[in-house]
Amino acid sequence: MAERLVTFESEGAIGIVTLRRPEKFNALDIPMLRALEAALDEAELAEGVRAVLLRGEGKGFCAGGDVEAWGAMSAADFQVQWVRYGHRVFDRLARLRQPTIAVLSGHALGGGLELAVACDFRVAEAHVKLGFPETSIGVVPGWSGTQRAVRRFGAQTVRRMALGGEVFLAADALALAIVDRVVETGRAFDEAKAWGEKIAERGPLATEAAKLMIAVAEGEESAAATEALASGFIALTGDLKAGVDAFKAKQMPVFSRS
C-alpha cells in the first residue's frame, strides 16, 4: 500500500494531522484534499483527543494549491472539483469539534495560509512568511481567503495581502493577529503541542460548546451549530430516555421535564 498523503495519529489527548508531500512542500492536489478529509474524519472520531495539531512534513507547512493540479482544468471543473471541493475540506477543518492549532514551521502562502486560517490557532516560526499571492498569477484566493480570512483578521489586512501583494514575516503577522504565537525556528511543534495539552486540561464538553458558540458569533456556523447544541442538551435529559423507551415499547411516552 502506498504511503498515505495525510496521516492522523494521537499522542494522549493530542491528535496530530500531518501533510506528507514534502517534495512538493505539501502542496495540495485532489488526492491530498481527499486524504486530508479522511484524516479529519479520523480526528473527529478519536476518543480522548481534545486538541488537534495540523503540520507539514519537511521544510514547508503547505505551499497552497498545486498549480499543476488545477492549471489545466476546464472552467467548470476548476469551479466544482477544485474550488468547491477545497471549500468543503477546509470547512471540515474549521468545524472540527476539537480546537485546532496550525504548526507553521514553513511558509504559509495562498491555499496554505487559507488552510492555517481554518484552524483555531496558529503558531509560527520566526522565519515563516504568510500571504495571498494569487493575483500575481491571475487568479483569486479560492478556499476562503476573501471570506473566512476577512472575518478573522479584518478586511484591510486581507486587502494588503490579496490586492497589495504584501507578504508578512511572522513577527508582522503576530502584530496583525494573523498568527497567535511566534517562536524560534524548530520550536513550533513543541510550542503547539504544549498549548494543545493546556487546552486538553479544560472541560472537553464546555470547550467544544464554546467553540461552537464562537463559530456562530463569527458567522462560521449557524444552523448546524444551533441544532448540535440543542440536541446535545436534549440528549442529557430524562425526556429523551422516556421518549426512546416508549417508542421501543410501542407506548405513549410520559415526559417529566427532568
Handedness of CA 156, 162, 166, 168 (dihedral sign): positive
Quick one: cell of 160? 494588503
CA distances 91 to 40, 101, 190, Å, are 11, 15, 26
Helix (H) or strand (E) run with residue 67 in it: helix 67-70
Instruction: Provide the annotated active-site residues.
Output: 114, 134
What pLDDT does residue 170 have?
98
What pLDDT does residue 204 have?
94
Nearest to 94 by CA among 37, 20, 15, 140: 37
What pLDDT does residue 238 have?
87
Alpha helices in 118-258 (DSSP H): 148-153, 155-162, 170-175, 188-200, 204-218, 223-235, 238-249
Q: Where are the domains of the chain?
A: 4-199, 202-247
Q: How far is C-alpha 258 from the geometric centre of its chain's CA atoms?
A: 37
Q: Amino acid identity, residue 23?
A: E
What pLDDT does residue 237 have?
85
What pLDDT does residue 1 have?
35
Per-residue pLDDT of the chain (258 residues; tens, 9 = 90+): 347 999 999 999 999 999 999 999 999 999 999 999 999 999 999 999 999 999 999 998 999 888 877 777 788 878 877 888 889 999 999 999 999 999 999 999 999 999 999 999 999 999 999 999 999 989 889 889 999 999 999 999 999 999 999 999 999 999 999 999 999 999 999 999 999 999 999 999 999 999 999 999 998 877 777 888 888 888 888 888 888 888 899 999 888 877
CB atoms under 10 Å from CB of 108, counted, come to 30
Decide: helix, strand or coil at residue 145: coil
Among 2.40.50.500, 2.30.42.10, 3.90.226.10, 3.60.9.10, what is the CATH number of 4-199?
Answer: 3.90.226.10
